Structure 1
């Protein structure tokens, strides 16, 4: 009896050691799978970012963060599939396993070839082609990851144990939901941000930047609307507008004129197209002269503002302000001074110099006490948590131009009530 107990105990210990060994083997396999997936994700994200840095489009992901989310969310599903193929097909249906493996390798080779040789300059999809963009993102991620995991398994000669339990239906369902829904929601949230940014670019005349964003929206979500226009139609309109500007620039290059006004016009067109570095190179030689136009300084300040070079932006707006003040008083001169003060204020605000920014905003307001200036000051005071001043100026903006600022004003007051310190005073005095 004692011998039987000892034998039974030894058997239990042996089984326990085997299960522990199998668990360690499976853990090492999955660590390799995760490492492989991480390397593949980093590689494709780097490639997408490098294409975008050269003003190209990498279909169908466009941006590095989108491809990272798509690939990482696909990892659980591909690991489960690779384990099933290695543990079931490879053991019981080897010919079928080798056939599927060959298909994966050939498909991945084709994907890489198309990615490296395809046109990455401009893509505009119609709403009828929306399914292509929607389907390709998870399909490519799935294909590349499965192939990478199978290749890693072959290189390290991993063999799945037949005794390891297989995941159930719920595990597969959760993996599929993670692979499909999370990237879709994330991509749509990024598209919403891009639509808002595109509208801002269009409002400020930055057609080149708007065109690039619209093309990206067409790849990510061809059915999206910007304003009341479909992304595809807007992309084609922007292509035509930018083409006309490029034609004008080509004509100006063929017949150059050595004057500051001519140079300013060329630089302005370049900045509209988003070619800000080239515009700066054109303007810089003229800005060192004593009689330089304030328009040149102002354009430089605006360009540096878009490049988030706040120091240079503030410096050029200051030079524009001095140049405007030297000119005879006129409507254009007053508008130029106001624009210079606003540029100075924005640059100082971004640099954290709030006292200087407030002084600049107030200087612009003293010259043109319009609803626009009051609302701009209200936004500044909201940002710096000066709730009483923000409330006063937003109410003045609403009083001066109710048609334009009634709804934005209510939203700003509501934001003051909910978010900032000192909001008790807003609750007491805020009149909607």
Structure 2
């Protein structure tokens, strides 16, 4: 990791740049695939699956037979772990339910708001270098709790035309209604437009590489909502001499192994801790099966020494990390004042891995600084809020005059007339 000592604030933006390609580098490819899928449907998706995933499929829809085979291939220990994680994720997301909000704003004017589930949702589950069956839990569990009727899951097939058994087992466990062997840009395009075999959905969820992220953003131009821009994984740790250097190094490496375009950052007021963490990273990284991926990600990563906690907090809010670990002598300072972060992990015994798998919080989070405006996936992500109003004769008399004046001032006479006719009717009857 590159060590940066007490950088000037004017240099923060440059120092905190993510190692990602610009949208301009990717958008052309994404547009071409979208156009092809829109015009040629399943035929185009099959072509790109063969091109990008190296496999020709007779049928992209996962069958019941394949699901049953997958269930048999998952060990009992893993099934128990998945069920434990599911239980915690369900518990945390169920308490996010909110009741109907009702208020009589004026005598005779009743207003209320109710939640309704998004009917059809698409879940994108990366396959690539790691089968993220944990993301199946994070997306399908709240979708089920919300009451979504169609839950369509897409994940890229391997060279044998299969989806990892753990993904299929988890999808089956969590009530996914259709599973499609489809990844990358073509998956997002398929969910956006729909095809003869793939349902069109109203909202797309899930993380992915930079191509998937840009594809999701493009889908919004065609009337499909997305959860958030969620690209390559990132982690920022703020730590001082209260932290265990080996724990900090392990946490940094846990995100570095996601992909070569992942980024991890250590911010500290302690020069000694930075040095100790560097030693631990060099020691621990050699033991990882994904050592080459982790090493490339570490090349994109930084250790930043700052003068005090106030400066550290300012820098962290400027970066807006997806995952934020706090391990200092004054954790409350950061917890109470953090403004931009996807999910926060506090203390020596709270690894980011807990949130990735089994603590109960959701691990589908905004990246690339989007925490400044976006939340991570939660129960509300799968709901819409609908407002209602019911106005009595008394109510329209109470607010009618105000509506007439406002409508007339805006030059919208028909708006005014809709009220005037009612007021005249009430007066004459």
* More relative contact order, 1 or 2 (CA 8 Å, 6+ apart): 2
> Which structure has the highest helix share of the two?
1
TM-score normalised according to structure 1 size: 0.21
Q: Which one has the bigger strand percentage?
A: 2
The two structures have a TM-score, normalised by structure 2, of 0.21
Structure number with bigger Rg: 1
